[in-house]
Structure 1
Amino acid sequence: MPTESLVEIRGLNFAYDTDSGPRKVLEGIDMSFHKGKVVAIMGGSGCGKTTLLRLIGGQLRPSAGEVKVAGHAVHRMNTRELYALRRRMGMLFQFGALFTDMSVFDNVAFQMREHTDLPEELIRDMVLLKLQAVGLRGAAGLMPNELSGGMARRVALARAVALDPMLIMYDEPFTGLDPISLGVIGQLIRKLNDALGATSIMVTHDIQESLQIVDYIYFMSAGRVVAQGTPDEIRASRDPFVHQFVHAEADGPVPFHYPAVSVADSLLGGVRG
């Protein structure tokens, strides 16, 4: 991968404070997200992927280590600096998270109205261009409840790139989509990233679609990076965890059976579990 990075994560640890003490979520994370690239973060549920996005966006602060975006330590920024940085970020939430009481047009226009002083005439033109890019200019007047799942995700994508961000983050962008919509969203993520010259970070479980559009992949397990590489390297990996994940195997390093005593003890010895 190229040497110039937009996002650098070094020695990152993060834990939530609980009544019983710190609960570790991330430990010893080192990652680089290079300019112009689409990078996937994969792993089982609860391994810390979405927490990582929140740390990059500044919603959380690390327990140790650092997160840098465009050379600036996010965790050291004050509120005003974070606000300015987030203007240069786009986010596509799981299931789209559109404002249900706003039209398609107003959803896409929201950031432009919130973060700029552009005249309404220019906002109108920009919104229609963003909707054109995702194939939904004709749906500008519809409400979210009139959209299919795939259409709603495309509107959310248009909203995420409304201000031509340098960094776009996606939290499970393919969840709940039919195969056609999934393919459309995948290709839009790739094409919009390339057209904007942006950097995209995509948290996803969808292996097959991701391998077709991303440049690099990080695999996480139990809060650590356990494997990384290009799509070709991941396909050829002999790492047991990566192989199980890529090929959707029921048993492997992530076991099918929850830990229990032997079947014989359970059935013949009257032991539960």
Structure 2
Amino acid sequence: MTEHSDDLLVSLSGVRFAYGEREVLRGIDLTVRRGQVVAIMGGSGCGKTTLLRLIGGQLRASAGQVSVAGHELGGLSRDALYALRRRMGMLFQFGALFTDMSVFDNVAFPLREHTDLPAEMIRDLVRMKLNAVGLRGAEALGPGELSGGMARRVALARAIALDPMLIMYDEPFAGLDPISLGVIGQLIRKLNDALGASSIMVTHDIHESLEIVDYVYFVSDGRIVAQGTPDEIRASADPFVHQFVHAEADGPVPFHYPAVPIGESLLGEGGR
């Protein structure tokens, strides 16, 4: 299938997926257009990271279609899938840097692995990517010498090393202090725009995300339960969105695990 002439880069239609008997996704419809930064939000275990793996081709949908750049992933050969994946970048949770490599070699890794560029050109490209994230002076350091925010920026430089058309982020703000969180958020937006790429971000950080994304999907119980622009999400009266945005302890996602009434439990009725 050839690439579409319009601006649609990623499309999921009726996507279902199960780990064994446990169905995680129950009919997902989702689109990402070229140039967009899109956030996927929802509670832990709702299937957000599974969506990234389906889009990246690490998993195949049980039903429905996953298309990237006009290619339906389920119909691609192994070689064609790998060729498409080389046009994607991934920032893993907590960065996932190679601990036995320097900052320079971490960023150079995808260039050495997937291209035949001469060493001098790889050197210049790595320094350009590190400069873009403010860490050109840290190229000789090891991952153990980096702060959490610096490590995340190195991982971001590695994710954009091949100038991908699509960049995916799995919890890019996890464990960061407020300054580092703001820096990473602005870099995600600026680098996406500079590369002319699209970005998909799985995150729990609602406030930082709404400052930089173009569109938000909320996932709950394996389905898209709400979606919209940042302004629409902020103004939403949907109970699930309101609970998530305002970090309320109780709501559609209940505080209490199902149990008999406390009175019955204390009186011994229904207790163990």
User: Same fold, TM exceeding 0.5?
Assistant: yes
Q: Deviations for 1:155-195, whole angstroms, at most 9, x for unmatched residues?
A: 00000000100000000000000000000000000000000
Match of 1:12 among 1, 5, 15: 15
Letter in 1 for 2:166: L
Greater CA deviation, 74-83 or 231-240?
74-83
Letter in 1 for 2:26: E
Letter in 1 for 2:8: S
Q: TM (normalized to structure 1)?
A: 0.96
Task: Name the structure 2 match of 1:252.
Answer: 251
Task: Name the structure 1 match of 2:3.
Answer: none
Task: Name the structure 2 match of 1:133.
Answer: 132
Task: Name the structure 2 match of 1:38.
Answer: 37
* Separation of aligned partners in 2, 1:263 and 1:9: 44
In structure 1, list runs of 5 or more residues that go unmatched: none
Cα deviation, residue 84, structure 1: 0.6
Task: Name the structure 1 match of 2:82.
Answer: 83
Task: Name the structure 2 match of 1:60.
Answer: 59
Give the secondary-structure state (helix, strand or coil) at the position aligned to 2:124.
Answer: helix
Cα deviation, residue 271, structure 1: 3.6
Q: Deviations for 1:100-134, whole angstroms, at most 9, x for unmatched residues?
A: 00000000000000000000000000000000000
Number of positions where the alignment pairs a residue of Structure 1 with one of Structure 2: 267
Task: Name the structure 2 match of 1:243.
Answer: 242
Task: Name the structure 1 match of 2:115.
Answer: 116
Task: Name the structure 1 match of 2:70.
Answer: 71
* Separation of aligned partners in 1, 2:78 and 2:119: 28
* Separation of aligned partners in 2, 1:270 and 1:225: 39
* Separation of aligned partners in 1, 2:12 and 2:270: 47
Letter in 1 for 2:118: P
Give the secondary-structure state (helix, strand or coil) at the position aligned to 2:253.
Answer: coil
* Separation of aligned partners in 2, 1:178 and 1:210: 15
Q: Are 1:202 and 2:240 counterparts?
A: no
Q: Are 1:211 and 2:214 counterparts?
A: no
Q: TM (normalized to structure 2)?
A: 0.97
Cα deviation, residue 270, structure 1: 5.2
Matches within 5 A, 1:137-216: 137-216=136-215
* Separation of aligned partners in 1, 2:172 and 2:17: 24
Greater CA deviation, 198-207 or 255-264?
255-264
RMSD over equivalenced CA pairs, Å: 0.9
Give the secondary-structure state (helix, strand or coil) at the position aligned to 1:24.
Answer: strand
* Separation of aligned partners in 2, 1:86 and 1:257: 42
Letter in 1 for 2:64: G
* Separation of aligned partners in 2, 1:26 and 1:212: 28
* Separation of aligned partners in 1, 2:107 and 2:93: 17
Give the secondary-structure state (helix, strand or coil) at the position aligned to 1:117.
Answer: coil
* Separation of aligned partners in 1, 2:262 and 2:244: 27
